[in-house]
Amino acid sequence: MMVGEHFYIGKSARTNKDGIKQFISILNKYGLSGSEITLDEVLHLKSGVNYIENNNILVSGEFIDKKAFEKFNKTIVDTNETYTANCIWINETVIIPQSYPQIEKAIQDLGYKTINIDTSEFRKIDGGLSCLSLRF
């Protein structure tokens, strides 16, 4: 998860310490930095935390109290809407999964426009918006 010039890198069954160390080494060559975030409950970091710019993050589950995210303005995603923690910020607009009114209102209250996308078929295979996106 990129926040400015810093990357938060999830360590799970799918990413190990060696991979994280190598990635941070590459980042450092370009004047960027990175840090490891241990995942205990989810496979992907962005399944539970997403940066939506302007020091705002959406957090759910195990990420609510993680020390690494204490400096951010947190919008806590209710347990019945945890799937929406995985969203995408593009040019002051946050793309969110359709049919989650609580988090949509919370994001709008922060001053962002929102776009709802029907991800119901992708959700059946645990696919979130950031998993389905290529951005440059």
- Whether 128 is covered by a domain: the verdict is no
Edge-to-edge strand order for the sheet containing 56-59? 49-51, 56-59, 73-76
- Whether 18 is covered by a domain: the verdict is yes
Edge-to-edge strand order for the sheet containing 88-90? 88-90, 93-97, 113-117
Known catalytic residues?
A: 44, 131
- Give Cα separations from 36 to 22, 29, 71, 80, 124 (angstroms): 12, 18, 16, 27, 29
CATH number at residue 54: 3.75.10.10
- Whether 132 is covered by a domain: the verdict is no
- Whether 65 is covered by a domain: the verdict is yes
Q: What is the mean pLDDT of residues 109-124?
A: 89
Helix, strand, coil fractions of the chain, as percent rounded to 5: 30, 30, 40
- Whether 113 is covered by a domain: the verdict is yes
- Whether 135 is covered by a domain: the verdict is no
Number of domains observed in the structure of the chain: 1
Better-predicted residue by pLDDT, 122 or 107 = 107
The pLDDT value recorded for residue 132 is 65
- Whether 74 is covered by a domain: the verdict is yes
The pLDDT value recorded for residue 124 is 72
Q: What is the mean pLDDT of residues 35-46?
A: 91
Residue 136 pLDDT > 90: no
- Supply the range of the domain harboring residue 70: 2-123
